[in-house]
Structure 1
Amino acid sequence: MHDVVIVGAGPVGLALACELGLAGCSVLVLEREPGPGSPLRSAPLGRRGLSAASVEAFYRRGLMEPLLTASGDQEVFGTAAPAADEAGAPARPRFVGHFAGMMVDGDRVDVTALPFRLPGPAPEAVVTDLAAVETVLSGQASRLGVEIRRGVTVSAVSQHGESVVARAGTDAYEARWLVGCDGGRSTVRRLADFEFVGTEPQFTGYTMQAALAGPERLRPGFHLTPTGMYLRMPSDGHIAMMDFDGGAFDRSQPLTRDHLQTVLRRVSGTDVTIGEVRLASSFTDRAMQTTSYRRGRVLLAGDAAHIHSPLGGQGLNTGIGDAVNLGWKLAATVHGYAPDGLLDTYAAERHPIGAAVLDWTRAQVATMRPEPHAQAVQAVVRELIGTRDGATYVFERLSGSWIRYDLGSEHPLVGRSAPDFRFEDGSSLGDLMEDGRGVVLDFSTDRRLRASVTGWEGRIRYAAGRAANDLGLGAVLVRPDGVVAWAGDRQPDREGLAQAVHRWFGAAG
């Protein structure tokens, strides 16, 4: 019997498998598809943007360089060592995102207004593709002893006391826990009877790579039109479209050249002609979320727990956030040292994030509708995004910098992703987190803080020294997912640190 069976070998399932494998759990991943290769997962149609929050997750596990290599010549935003201006402020990010197809000018983003950011070697964002992400994560999973079985279609899920069984035909796979990471049409979600609620679609979206006659008639970039939206990507023949048909066409009929041409001409207002269609797929903005992320010994993560339109590239990033949040908590539960209620904090922390992402995409869809009221809103939003505060706000949402969990502390850093603190010897917080343990950073002169983690060495690393920029702190406790669990001033409260260690890491070993 395995500790955990994960259904789905996409980025979320593989990221979770890596976190569990790093913590020494026995993990089996079951994937319906017979092989990892798919044209829809490679560039251009498989192209995705990793936000700063997701980049941090790869960086903290030593996977940033392999990901950049696997991504080839796709874009990286930000600098490896951001310069400072004359006032000492961090250099601005070069990342430019969008809200409802309206671009955000990176020159207007005020990086100094973003919470607790420190320069570090990780880029602000990376444009990659699903194939590259899965290649890196599957390689890491294999090195950690995770077993991946492909061509396995789960048809039944049942729970029995201290275990759960996934069945595929005549085969049965038993584990102590099962996690569904099997996408928006999740079989696990249906079989385990999770409630899935939300809003129905407003549009059918299309993405395709095709030969175009007269492509110059389509201007590059996003374009909101009186009849919908189209996006001409830099890569040859890569077009995306949104047709506000209430989602009626999605998956209902074959994606023929004639249909794609009809939609493109309608939403673009041009007579552009489509030749050979090399690849094409459709999607909608249906926005749904499970009311709970756990039923007994079955949990959900990624698109299995929440679906929405792909506007702004939030799906992949939200799923990776789910995986790194759940991984260490489930591992602690498997190994028997999790404090009471630790696993329940997964849903408590991540469900509100998923709900907020659904609303963020709904707001964009409402703004993009081809009707006068929405077009009036577009004019207002365009003006707001053109301001420094507006551009900074949108960038904060796109980068993941807005995320803060309510951990019951008034300290403004607690609950946020930890800055990449760097010691004077050149080592950084990111370097200390590759093994998946929590970290106590002690910047104070009071080395008695070490006693607060004595007995937890297998779960928490203690690091002391002067930092290049300690943000006025004396010590910080960082959870394995990179979230600050406790922060102390120049003279840290040892008892407060000890309580935080007990709260998040259980009794001493």
Structure 2
Amino acid sequence: MTSNAEVIVVGAGPVGLLLACELAVAGVRVTVLERRAETVPQSRALTMHGRTLEMLALRGVAGRFLARGMPIPSGHFAGLPTRLDFSACDSTYPFTLFIPQSVTEQLLEAWAGELGVDLRRGATVEATGQDEDGVWVGGTQAGSPFRLAARYLVGADGARSLVRRQAGIAFDGLAATKTAMLGDVRLHTPPPGRAISLGNSAGGMMVVPLGGELYRVIVVDAQEIDVPVEVPVTLEGLSAATRRVAGEDFGMHSPEWLSRFSNQTCLAQSYRKGRIFLAGDAAHIHLPAGGQGMNVGMQDAMNLGWKLAGVLRGRADASLLDSYEGERHPVGAALYRNTLAQSALMMDSFDPAGQALRATLSDLMKGPELNATLAHDLSGFGIRYPAALLSGAPEGDGCARWIGRRLPDWPLQHADGTASSLYEHLASGRWLVLQVDGEVQGHYQPALDGAWVNVVTALVPGRAAELDGVAALVVRPDGYVDHAVPLRSSVTSGNPCPAQAVT
């Protein structure tokens, strides 16, 4: 079994597949190894957040997912009654997309096939290693041993990641202390509106329609909260728990999937060791609250993918790869905190004090500021990276407000009367210099290989005040601003952003 891959990805879930696609868009040869011979029909994740849709839109494929999912304008924090309102988010996608993980994987696998990704199912990885020149992976497929070599290895192989363990990366955190039950079942008498979310002194419950008579029922039962995660769930047990919390079981029958999950919360001590990287559940696991796990993992994949591609194509120094952990580990730490907070509110709040805390926080969430903050946090829209990646980026308060900022898919107006959108110019995986004032044209070159940059001159309708004093924005391949370039006039008038002003 041979491979000419430059990158080997272990794991063909949404994270591994998206990473492979991001690499392949840039022409990187990638092999994905997946131990499962077939895709898993059950879907742990049902939610795609707006920032993940933006990432897919950056590469021109969001429409495939929108066609198969259902937009939902609100979300939840810890199952509290007050919903999160995503309309406060500046995005083309101010909603969550209800889409089963199985469908997400199907669509990503199809895209990977179009891009020529080498996906090998039934390939069990048993050993990994690295030296200063590359990595190797050994294992078996169809009873035969294999050994593959590449420049880099990425573990997207889940919570029990063999890649992480063999790299010697610690997985620090908290062991499971509470569990909940999940069942994909059919209901004879579904709740009004076909969906329900409630919490009380007996526990908490959500019912979500999956199509036809099939529903997902998730129950946090105060009487069963200490049952170990390894104990199988039965239909009778799920029904009894549902009756305790909701007063009825909605006539549940014919289960397709029954499972138990815990509040175990862990974060990899590092996301990189030499030429080996971690992404998704291999790097962070937590209570599945707010639909964040898959989405944060896919965002890990995007962040790492374009950086690996730039280094492998000789367009960036290898030091760029240091920024993957620098940018994404803090996101994992924030995920660790917010899911622990939700765990306390959902799984340790059955006494009067806990119920009072839930009611108080739910009331506070009716205030637009807190609601918007939590909506931005859970959706990924609120992520902002702290530093410019390019050397020589302009400094000063006037420019600092743009550094690391996520851009929505702005409509652009060109001098010849044509229109386009911002994301169209990022679909190739290159950087973008968006020149928003004519005087900048041809006068500013960022510290980048010219073959890795698209340059576009356009007005941004409705954003004139926001862009006052800006000649250009230098936008990373993942849609975040690296830095802004000020107009000469804004420098002479006292704008505190003088370095490398356009003349």
TM-score, normalized by length of structure 2? 0.86
Shift of 1:398: 2.3
Aligned residue in 2 for 1:395: 375
Shift of 1:340: 5.2
Q: How does 1:385-424 map to 2 (within 5 A)?
A: 385-407=365-387, 410=397, 411-424=400-413
Cα deviation, 1:328-378, whole Å, max 9, x if unaligned, reads 111122223323521011001000001101111111111222223322211
Aligned residue in 2 for 1:372: 352
Letter in 1 for 2:484: A
State yes or no: 1:337 paired with 2:337.
no
SS at match of 1:206: strand
Q: How does 1:15-414 map to 2 (within 5 A)?
A: 15-36=18-39, 38-41=40-43, 46=44, 48-69=46-67, 71=68, 74-77=69-72, 95-105=73-83, 111=88, 117=90, 120=92, 122=93, 124-169=95-140, 170-212=145-187, 215-216=190-191, 220-235=195-210, 236=213, 237-243=215-221, 248-250=227-229, 252-270=230-248, 274-339=252-317, 341-368=319-346, 369=348, 370-407=350-387, 410=397, 411-414=400-403
CA–CA separation in structure 1 for the residues paired with 2:192 and 2:475: 52
Q: How does 1:401-480 map to 2 (within 5 A)?
A: 401-407=381-387, 410=397, 411-424=400-413, 425-452=418-445, 456-468=449-461, 469-470=463-464, 471-472=466-467, 473-480=470-477
Q: 1:394 to 1:260 in 2, by over 3 A?
A: same
Identical positions, percent: 34
For the 8 Å contact 1:453–1:462, the answer to whether it is kept is no
Shift of 1:183: 1.2
Aligned residue in 2 for 1:5: 8
CA–CA separation in structure 1 for the residues paired with 2:95 and 2:255: 34
Shift of 1:47: 5.2
SS at match of 2:292: helix
CA RMSD of aligned residues (A): 2.7
For the 8 Å contact 2:487–2:501, the answer to whether it is kept is no
For the 8 Å contact 1:247–1:284, the answer to whether it is kept is no
Shift of 1:212: 4.2
- Structure 1 segments of 4+ aligned residues over 6 angstroms from their partners: 492-495
Shift of 1:57: 0.2
CA–CA separation in structure 2 for the residues paired with 1:442 and 1:328: 22
Q: 1:180 to 1:243 in 2, by over 3 A?
A: farther
For the 8 Å contact 2:441–2:457, the answer to whether it is kept is no
For the 8 Å contact 2:311–2:318, the answer to whether it is kept is no
For the 8 Å contact 1:311–1:364, the answer to whether it is kept is yes
CA–CA separation in structure 1 for the residues paired with 2:193 and 2:181: 16
Letter in 1 for 2:456: A
SS at match of 2:340: helix
For the 8 Å contact 1:215–1:272, the answer to whether it is kept is yes
For the 8 Å contact 1:220–1:231, the answer to whether it is kept is yes
Q: 1:110 to 1:266 in 2, by over 3 A?
A: closer
Letter in 2 for 1:4: V
Letter in 2 for 1:197: D
SS at match of 2:125: coil
CA–CA separation in structure 1 for the residues paired with 2:139 and 2:187: 44
Shift of 1:254: 2.9
Q: 1:453 to 1:387 in 2, by over 3 A?
A: closer
Letter in 2 for 1:11: P
For the 8 Å contact 1:478–1:484, the answer to whether it is kept is yes
